Amino acid sequence: MSRFTVAVLAGFLSLLVILLVAGCGGGGSSSSDDPTPSSQVNGLVTDPPIEGAAVWLLEANGDALSEIVRSDEHGRFQLTISGDTVPGDARLMARGGVDTKTGHDFQGLQLSAPWMGLDRPVISPLTTLVDNVYRQDGLALQAVVEDVASLLDLPPSGVMNDPAQDAQVQRASLLLTELWLALRGIDDPMEQIATSLRYAQGDFAKTARYLADGGIVDLPDTIKDRLEGVESIALALRGDSVSTAQEVIDALAQQNIEHGLARFFDNQLGFEPHNQTERDNLRSLAHAVWLAAERRGMPANSPGVFNVARYLGKTYQVGIEALENPEFQVPEGLTTDQTIASLAASRVLDHTVPLAEAEVLGMDNQARVEYFLRSDLSPYERAERLFDGVFADNVLDPVFASIAQGMAAAGLFEEADLVLRAQIFQPTKRAEAFRRTGREFFRNGEETRALEYWDEASGIQQQQLEALGLANLTGADARFYRSLSDDFLAAGYPDRAEASIAPLLDYVNQFGGAGQPWTGNYFNLTTALLNQAEERVELAAEAGMTGSSYEQAVAATHLLRRWVDDMGSPQPGPTSCRLIQSQYTARYAALYSHLGLRDQALAGIDAFEDLMVATCGNQTNAFSRFYVDIIAPAYGALGLTARFEQLLQDEVEPYPMYSAAARTAANEIAVFFAVEAALQGGAQAALDEMNDRITSPRDRASYLIYRSQGLSTDGRNLAVRLADEGMLQAAREVADAGWQLSTSAAFIEDSDDFDEESWRDAIGYVPPPGSSPDNARTEINRLLRNGCHAAALVTDELGETAKARQRMAECWSLAQEMYRGASTMLWAEAAWLLADGHLALDMDGAGVVNALRQQARVIDSNDSRSQQFRRVADLQSRGGMSEQALATLDDEVMAALQAMADQASDEDSLITVMRETEAVAKAYLEVALEQRARLHREGHLSGFSQEHVVKAREGAHRVLLGDSSNAAWAWNGYQGLIERLNSPTQQDRGWREGVKLLGAAGEFDLAIAWAETATQDPERWRRLTQVAEALTEWDDFPETDLARFDFDGDGRPDFFNPRYAESEWMMSPLQLDDDIDGDGIPDTQDLTPYCPGCMDVGSMSRR
């Protein structure tokens, strides 16, 4: 039973009440006016006592019989159970929590106990073993209890009660936990333990050895190591002379500390006890640490042990020399040092604790990776801690999936594996997490494990599909199977790629085909596959139609065709018949033509023509004529231009209602007629063909130098198509002609009544007056973006950069003359487009940007003025003028935003101000992002300003929280706008957006504080999820995955992605930081490399 299922079944809205009112396990009786009878059960979750576990009662069919409560610091809980009686097959469940004596963390583990009607039921590792055997063997419960007791040589009464009542029962419970934790991440660990215990006749040491030797399944080396540690502890406990349960607990706690310290000294200092004296010294030290930790243990492999060991070395000089000394004495004050208790409780490496001398990171990339990602600074650790005490799968699973993927990408494979197997529970989320993490394994060269993960992902998804039924296949399922197939293809396994989409083919076989009725689910699935196929083809085109991207695109289009061809009918609507199938057929035919698959494209064309004349009873499929423009490129690419022209003449043009579709389709095919003409007679023949076939000068220019105007995914203009055909000179001549046309009177007036002399000879083009922002954008797109701006860019694409820059400058001159005296919005829109064009061609755009600034200053509307100034700042930032960009935002944009806020008088206007405020905060963050991107794009520290990054993020901070330091305006902040709203829904939306922006600015503590303002858990969790996303996605080096983190912000990465070889680091413009925290101490000497200002080695205080 997953966390989320339980929460939903129990009534999620009441969870908050339970947690707040019950606190640490308390509860109350039902209300006097509640007609439903209820009773209370007081119990114990223990190993020793486990604090903070989520506890509930579960019926055999999965229905919850109680609310969720949490155990208190003594492991106690109190459940309120609805109904007069509890079914005999019910179970008590407990998830998570921390053992208060041993320090073991049960996160991701689920204890259970069969319901026996006891007055004070106990949930323990032993009851969990009983419950597992009971559900597996099908015997009577009492028989199972006696069987387990006999196997472990325990009294039957002790197995289901508090282990603390008997020393041998406590020993068995503790060792069972050690085995369970050692196997964490393995499927059904308790079942494997039960089987192995039987094999070993109840001997825990032999059980650990049997499992480590692969007695049931071959295990990873890290788990084998843990099992060997359990074997040692079991043998040691067997020899210890203990008579009470508390003595057993104390002995095990000290054993774990001793083993942990031994591991640290061995791995980090190269010290291993070789004689009894050294072993006794280590045991004495472990005992002292246990006392200092307030008689609480630490798991042997926990960060707490490592933190304590480091602290001992720096504060008490406990090292090899001390442990080898026959006269060793526990340092004075160690047993009462309160710092040790705090360090012992830590679950991650404390970055403030100095390293041992042998641990200094230096320039060791892998050591840096492991230290940072295992420390309390790790974004994954910080994201996880946000949800301590949360047990809802739908909240936690996406977070842990991101953590697993990030760890795998960083090379922490075993940690990623543990998260996947122990922390993600919803089947579909789990399957997708395995798939994505497997991809990271593959990228890191771990092909075998990647394949195992993908197979496991497929198995999990298949089990879920079998449970729900094939008829309930969803679009998300379709995307999963298609993406999994892509992963196998990228890895070079086409057969497995084909096998992975078998469920999709099974669905088509069962629910598609001739005579099958139309269903909405089939349509939704097909649409999902269509979208994915079009995405894959676009990616393949960007990759040059080669490699795995091309193979993935082909496979995706093959699958799409199968689904489209088998669509049911009639499709919804009184005149639709097979209209949707016609459109999708046109689209897959166009995709095939783009991929260069002639036979498949031709089959799609034939199918489309058949569908045009199809009937559905009394209905026809005549409306399919609307889609002729989509399929036109398929005809053209196959050289079937005459056939398509005939189709238009016979089936489309005679009907006036399809005239617009016919015109666009004729323009689309004209490009292919022109390509054919160019192959025979060169550029002039192609231009003649275009002149004859496309009557509108503006349309003709668009197809020459911009892009097609239809819905095709292959919208290449004629110039680019000719270049792709190897006719570069002809392509350049077409670009020249496009330039001439786009700057002619004919283009401006959109009429061939004018010649193609300069636009200055037009009889008097008059721009539309008083344009709104939308109208201005439309005007500028028609006359500049599709015209001279496009001509300049395509000229550059064809390799004539100097000519392209000249044309962009002349385009700006044309715009200035054309819009002299026009509305301010038109001027501003033109200046923005042409300034962007100048930057795209690496030109000096300062003059154009200044023109935009001048126009922005005289715009009356505050929101439009703010938008235009944001554009100015963006252009300045991308042009390398970050200081000016920040000044524009600080002065011009904030003044306009303040004016908007001052004038906001109702809810709608407040919401408008909030949207603009969000855009302003993002504008500041874009300046920081652009600065960081320059590090990799332009070379290490070239044009980079750490100061400007800091100021940009501070600017976003001021926008969100307010700032009255500027005497010209007193900005109360985004937070103040939220508080002025009346709608709770809008307020929640505002807080969520603010949390997201604070996270993007790296203000994680503030983001958490804003998230915590939510009074209901579902909303609080939504906000915290946004913080978690910001943490796990944080990237100081955008536009490259070579590095991600720069602790001190100086532009040098703390470490490189382990995926890349050192030779690749050396070839990059980035340089590894030799002083991670920027404190002036080189990392070859710094014992606190992530803690500037931390105390040096000699000043660590003893507390």
How many Cβ atoms are within 10 Å of 126's Cβ, its own excluded?
Answer: 29
Mean pLDDT of all residues belonging to the chain:
87
Label residue 89 by pLDDT band (50, 70, 90): confident
Residue 885, pLDDT above cutoff 90: yes
Mean pLDDT of 822-848: 91
Q: CA angle, corner 1102, sides to 1096 and 1103, nearest 5?
A: 130
Residue 767, pLDDT above cutoff 70: no
- CA dist 296 and 299 (Å) reads 10
Mean pLDDT of 240-265: 88
If DSSP states are collapsed to H, E and C, what string results for 854-890?
Answer: HHHHCCCCHHHHHHHHHHHHHHHHHCCCHHHHHHHHH
DSSP summary character for residue 711: S
Label residue 1103 by pLDDT band (50, 70, 90): very low
Query: Does 1098 or 350 have the greater pLDDT score?
Result: 350
Length of the chain: 1103
Label residue 999 by pLDDT band (50, 70, 90): very high
Q: What pLDDT does residue 607 have?
A: 96
- CA dist 134 and 426 (Å) reads 25
Strand order in the sheet with 54-58: 69-70, 54-58, 91-95, 110-114
Mean pLDDT of 235-261: 87
Q: What pLDDT does residue 763 have?
A: 42
Residue 524, pLDDT above cutoff 70: yes
Q: What pLDDT does residue 240 have?
A: 64
Residue 761, pLDDT above cutoff 80: no
Q: What pLDDT does residue 63 have?
A: 80
Q: Which residues contact 439 (CB under 8 A, 6 or more apart)?
A: 450, 487
For residues 311 and 339, is the Cβ–Cβ distance under 8 A? yes
Label residue 60 by pLDDT band (50, 70, 90): confident
- CA dist 428 and 451 (Å) reads 18
Label residue 787 by pLDDT band (50, 70, 90): very high
Q: What pLDDT does residue 766 have?
A: 57
pTM of the full structure:
0.78
Question: Position of tokens 């302003």?
Answer: 920
Phi-psi group of 333: left, alpha or beta (phi > 0 → left; psi -120 to 50 → alpha; rest → beta): left
- CA dist 767 and 775 (Å) reads 11
Mean pLDDT of 182-190: 84
Provide, for the chain, the percentages of residues in helix, strand and coil under a 3-state DSSP scheme, each rounded to the nearest 5: 65, 5, 30
- CA dist 332 and 448 (Å) reads 52
Segment holding 698, helix H or strand E:
helix 697-701
- CA dist 824 and 858 (Å) reads 7
Label residue 575 by pLDDT band (50, 70, 90): low
- DSSP string covering 381-427, please? HHHHHTTTT---HHHHHHHHHHHHHHHHHTT-HHHHHHHHHHH--SH
Residue 1086, pLDDT above cutoff 70: yes
Q: What pLDDT does residue 577 have?
A: 81
Please return the burial class of 1031, using the count of CB atoms within 10 Å of its CB with bins 0-12, 13-18 and 19+.
buried
Out of 344-348, 366-370, 554-558, 1070-1074, least confident range: 344-348
Q: Which residues contact 224 (CB under 8 A, 6 or more apart)?
A: 212
Q: What pLDDT does residue 935 have?
A: 87
Q: CA angle, corner 186, sides to 477 and 391, nearest 5?
A: 65
Residue 1040 has phi, psi (to 5 degrees) of -150, 145
Amino acid type, 514 = A
Segment holding 364, helix H or strand E:
none
Question: Position of tokens 């009918």?
Answer: 569
- CA dist 63 and 94 (Å) reads 15
Cα dihedral sign for 282, 288, 293, 295?
A: positive
- CA dist 451 and 458 (Å) reads 11
In a 13 Å sphere around the CA of 12, the CA atoms on its Cβ side amount to 17
Q: What pLDDT does residue 708 have?
A: 83
Residue 1, pLDDT above cutoff 80: no
Q: What pLDDT does residue 755 have?
A: 53
- CA dist 370 and 216 (Å) reads 31
Residue 762, pLDDT above cutoff 80: no
Residue 773, pLDDT above cutoff 90: no
Q: What pLDDT does residue 334 have?
A: 93
Q: According to DSSP H, which parts of 596-640 are helical?
A: 598-612, 628-637
Q: CA angle, corner 363, sides to 358 and 368, nearest 5?
A: 75
Segment holding 98, helix H or strand E:
strand 98-99
Mean pLDDT of 779-788: 90
416: tokens are 């990623």
If DSSP states are collapsed to H, E and C, what string results for 247-263?
Answer: HHHHHHHHHHHHHHHHH
- CA dist 1073 and 1083 (Å) reads 9
Q: What pLDDT does residue 750 have?
A: 81
Residue (of 337, 165, 315, 171) closest to 255 by Cα position? 171
Winning range, highest mean pLDDT, from 234-238, 681-685, 860-864: 681-685
- CA dist 381 and 348 (Å) reads 8
Query: Does 975 or 822 have the greater pLDDT score?
Result: 975
For residues 884 and 930, is the Cβ–Cβ distance under 8 A? no
1030: tokens are 């910001």
- DSSP string covering 1009-1026, please? HHHTT-SSHHHHHHHHHH
Residue (of 246, 243, 182, 177) closest to 209 by Cα position? 182
Q: What pLDDT does residue 462 have?
A: 94
Q: Is the preceding peptide bond at 155 cis, omega within 30 degrees of 0? A: no
Task: For 200-234, write each residue's pLDDT tens digit.
Answer: 999 999 999 999 998 888 887 778 888 998 998 89
Label residue 807 by pLDDT band (50, 70, 90): very high
For residues 207 and 151, is the Cβ–Cβ distance under 8 A? no
Residue 1100, pLDDT above cutoff 60: no
Range 583-593 burial, b when 16+ CB lie within 10 A, else e:
bbbbbbbbbbb
For residues 583 and 627, is the Cβ–Cβ distance under 8 A? yes
| 331: three-class secondary structure by DSSP | coil
Task: For 1025-1037, write each residue's pLDDT tens digit.
Answer: 999 999 999 999 9
Residue 384, pLDDT above cutoff 90: no
Mean pLDDT of 1045-1072: 91
Segment holding 44, helix H or strand E:
strand 38-45
- CA dist 1103 and 1092 (Å) reads 22
Question: Position of tokens 């490189």?
Answer: 1056
Residue (of 261, 222, 230, 266) closest to 418 by Cα position? 222
Task: For 667-725, write each residue's pLDDT tens digit.
Answer: 999 999 999 999 999 999 999 999 999 999 999 999 999 988 777 778 899 999 999 99
Q: What pLDDT does residue 964 have?
A: 62
Out of 39-43, 59-63, 386-390, least confident range: 386-390
Sorted by where each starts, the structural domains of the chain and their CATH numbers stand as: 1-123 (2.60.40), 390-468 (1.25.40), 665-763 (no CATH), 766-838 (no CATH)
Residue 44 has phi, psi (to 5 degrees) of -140, 130
Residue 9, pLDDT above cutoff 50: no
